A and B are shown apart, each in its own frame.
Chain A
Amino acid sequence: DAGITQSPRHKVTETGTPVTLRCHQTENHRYMYWYRQDPGHGLRLIHYSYGVKDTDKGEVSDGYSVSRSKTEDFLLTLESATSSQTSVYFCAISESSGNEKLFFGSGTQLSVL
């Protein structure tokens, strides 16, 4: 199994509070992704990174920011959480872009009350 760890696994927070989710990999893969999974939707890309300090927006990036200061860590921050951001968040990694095998973290269940 690929070495990819998400933390926390579960979080409950209140509307308006900042939240940071962490994705840590030990595979030295260049690409890292944050997705959210909601009923009635496929996985949707929030942000992705193609290298240290190199990030770009996905299709549902509003209200989220990311940072990648080291190859192994990719942080997702909700600056001011809203109830619409209640979701399951998945981190994924790949050696290069989408034409390489993807490895997923175990997911983070986030509830914003």
Chain B
Amino acid sequence: KNEVEQSPQNLTAQEGEFITINCSYSVGISALHWLQQHPGGGIVSLFMLSSGKKKHGRLIATINIQEKHSSLHITASHPRDSAVYICAVVSSGSRLTFGEGTQLTVNP
């Protein structure tokens, strides 16, 4: 079993829909990253969080340390949100472990 599991693996939505991507992990962590990989391959950091919730524009990330779970929400989704979303956890020794990613497609 992978230390970091993302669900769903693939997600197709209509423009305007509310999107939720989940990340569950099995190790103790000090922080969690959400990353976005564009269709062209580039990777950008969206959030880094260790507790609670963070919001940036239409994106919201939450984490529940006790339940070992994080969610990334996208409100009012748009076709330009189509990308792969990657969760990564920081565990002992500052080791980063990445999930396999969730492919999101938002249709107009």
Contacts and interface: CB of A to CB of B under 8 A. Distances in A.
Interface of A: 33, 40-45, 88, 90, 92, 97-104, 106-107
Nearest to B33: A102
B87 to A, nearest CB: 9
Contacts of A33: 96
Contact of B41 (A40, A45, A88, A101): A88
Contacts of A106: 41-42
A42 to B, nearest CB: 3
Given A42-B97, A42-B100, A99-B30, A90 B48 contact: no
A100 B99 CA distance: 18
Interface in B1-41: 2, 4, 30-31, 33, 35, 41
Q: Which of A45, A102, A103 has the most CB of B within 10 A?
A: A102
Interface residues of B, number: 24
A106 B2 CA distance: 26
B31 A103 contact: no
B44 interface: yes
Interface of B is mostly: strand
Interface string B85-99: 010101000111111
A101 B98 contact: no
A95 B51 CA distance: 21
Interface of A is mostly: loop
Contact of A99 (B41, B45, B86, B90): B90
Nearest to A92: B43
A110 to B, nearest CB: 13
A91 B108 CA distance: 34
Given A42-B86, A43-B88, A101 B45 contact: yes
B4 A42 contact: yes
B48 A101 contact: yes
A106 B43 CA distance: 7
Interface in B52-85: none
B42 A98 contact: no
B94 A98 contact: yes
Nearest to B44: A104
